[in-house]
Amino acid sequence: MVACSTLAFAEEAWTRFRGPNGSGLAAAVDLKLPYSEADDLCWKTALPGVGNSSPVLWGEKVFLLSGEQDGSYVYALCLNAKTGELIWKKDLASGGYRLHSKNTFASTTPAVDAHSVYITWSDGQQTTLAALTHDGKVEWTTELGPWVSQHGFGVSPMLYDEYVILPLMQLGDPKKLNGRNEAQSRVVALDRATGRIVWEAARDGDVAAYSVPCVYKTKDGRDLLICCSSAHGMAAHNPMNGDQVWANPAFKMRSVSSPVVIDGVAYGSCGSGGGGNYVVAVNPETGETLYRFERSAPYVPGAAGKNGLTYLWYDKGIVTCIRTADGEKVWQQRIGGNYSGSPILAGDRLINVSEEGEVVILAAGEEFQELGRFSLGEGSKASPAAADGKLYIRTDSHLFCLGKK
């Protein structure tokens, strides 16, 4: 079994945070504009509890997490992608602890393959990674120790070969990797079938990071696991054993957005709620910095792009298009709103949803063009998903399916 990273596969499934290989790329969605519920709302389903978990899809099933506001329970959910009907709900006992005001106890996005859905959550004292069948049966659970941070848990798993990989970049001491009662900053790979830990790569722990890795295939055919963290900047690992291949200490602040490779350029970012954000473009073959983008740079939303253009969606409602090769600004436009979700590029449309619940759709290309915007009536901090011509958006307590009925 190998990692799915091609755009063609996006038409069939959306298997992890930001879709195939974390790229945010999808086939076109069949969404009429201007939007109307009569034409474009396929279904809307109320979810138990609240959460920021983004949906993933396999076949006719949608998977995501939700949870109680006090952290007492996290819910793994499976819905019918065609009708929105809740197929099953798995109650997972958990516990509450201090969170950032924008975080929830169900902020992680599952990963899914043909047989299983992989989920993770934490009560602060214990972080758990689990595999469930598509029918909701628990196959295995693996405890990975405490999670120590200022803002709470929110790291999502990804799949590579036979492994489930989870970065645990937190406030911890890498010298105590074998002490299970200590917070440990590391990247961990588990066997998909059993939950057995296959390898762990110790990392420095100074500030928690929330990036989900992606995979880059080098010119000589090797796969590299690209990770971002506050302590190590952007780093590449051998995904079969965790060995570090290169590291670029590019970040001076917290890294939240997930890395993405666009036309042979790897992007990561860092920042803070108070500003000072910047995006770093790196040569994924060597780790060498190619350029930095600083003016209205995103902190939480990740980059998206193709065909020589990269789009950067600033948290405070400014979108910039740059040339991927050299970072030259093509256009920049204020579109308003606040954003915690990352945009996706579905066909030739750039799509994101604001914290206020407004969906904004822009044209991808050399000229700025707003194609449409509409409100879902409820806030959202999740990232959109797309599959089979439909757009799936999770708000605080609902899941929407938009597209041709």
Alpha-carbon gap, residue 392 to 193, rounded angstroms: 29
Alpha-carbon gap, residue 298 to 256, rounded angstroms: 10
CATH dotted code for 7-402: 2.130.10.10
Q: What pairs with residue 372 in β-bridges?
A: 361
* Contact call for residues 260 and 252 (beta carbons, < 8 A): no
Alpha-carbon gap, residue 314 to 72, rounded angstroms: 33
Condensed to tens digits (0 to 9), the pLDDT of residues 374-400 reads 999 999 999 999 999 999 999 999 999
Alpha-carbon gap, residue 252 to 268, rounded angstroms: 12
* Residue found under tokens 């980059």: 303
Residue type, 242: G
The confidence band for 182, taking pLDDT boundaries of 50, 70 and 90, is: low
Alpha-carbon gap, residue 265 to 313, rounded angstroms: 17
Condensed to tens digits (0 to 9), the pLDDT of residues 284-297 reads 999 999 999 998 99
pTM: 0.93
Residues 6+ positions from 147 with CB-CB distance below 8 Å: 122, 124, 127, 153, 168, 170, 183
* Contact call for residues 52 and 370 (beta carbons, < 8 A): no
Residue 8 has pLDDT above 90, yes or no: no
Residue 162 has pLDDT above 70, yes or no: yes
Condensed to tens digits (0 to 9), the pLDDT of residues 253-264 reads 889 999 999 999
Q: 77-80, long-range: CB within 8 Å, 24+ apart, which pairs?
A: 77/47, 77/48, 78/117, 78/134, 78/136, 79/45, 79/399
* Contact call for residues 341 and 301 (beta carbons, < 8 A): yes
* Contact call for residues 335 and 312 (beta carbons, < 8 A): no
Mean pLDDT of all residues belonging to the chain = 92
Domain locations in the chain?
A: 7-402
Q: Check residue 124 and give its pLDDT.
A: 85
Q: Check residue 4 and give its pLDDT.
A: 38
Condensed to tens digits (0 to 9), the pLDDT of residues 205-259 reads 767 888 999 999 999 999 999 999 988 999 999 999 999 999 999 998 889 999 9
Alpha-carbon gap, residue 198 to 240, rounded angstroms: 9
Cα 343–344–350 angle (5° rounding)?
85
Q: Check residue 180 and give its pLDDT.
A: 42
Q: Check residue 12 and give its pLDDT.
A: 56
Among the listed residues 89, 114, 85, 109, the one whose alpha carbon sits nearest the alpha carbon of residue 4: 114
Residue 338 has pLDDT above 70, yes or no: yes
Q: What HEC string does the chain produce?
A: CCCCCCHHHHHCEECCCCCHHHCCEECCCCCCCCCCHHHHEEEEEECCCECCCCCEEECCEEEEEEECCCCCEEEEEEEECCCCCEEEEEEEECCCCCCCCCCCCCCCCCEECCCEEEEEEECCCCEEEEEEECCCCEEEEEECCCCCCCCCCCCCCEEECCEEEEEECCCCCHHHCCCCCCCCCEEEEEECCCCCEEEEEECCCCCCCCCCCEEEECCCCCEEEEEEECCCEEEEECCCCCCEEEEECCCCCECCCCCEEECCEEEEEEECCCCCCEEEEECCCCCCEEEEECCCCCCCCCCEEECCEEEEECCCCEEEEEECCCCCEEEEEECCCCCCCCCEEECCEEEEECCCCEEEEEECCCCCCEEEEEECCCCCCCCCEEECCEEEEECCCEEEEECCC
Residue type, 387: A
Which region among 1-5, 54-58, 199-203 has the lowest average model confidence (pLDDT)? 1-5
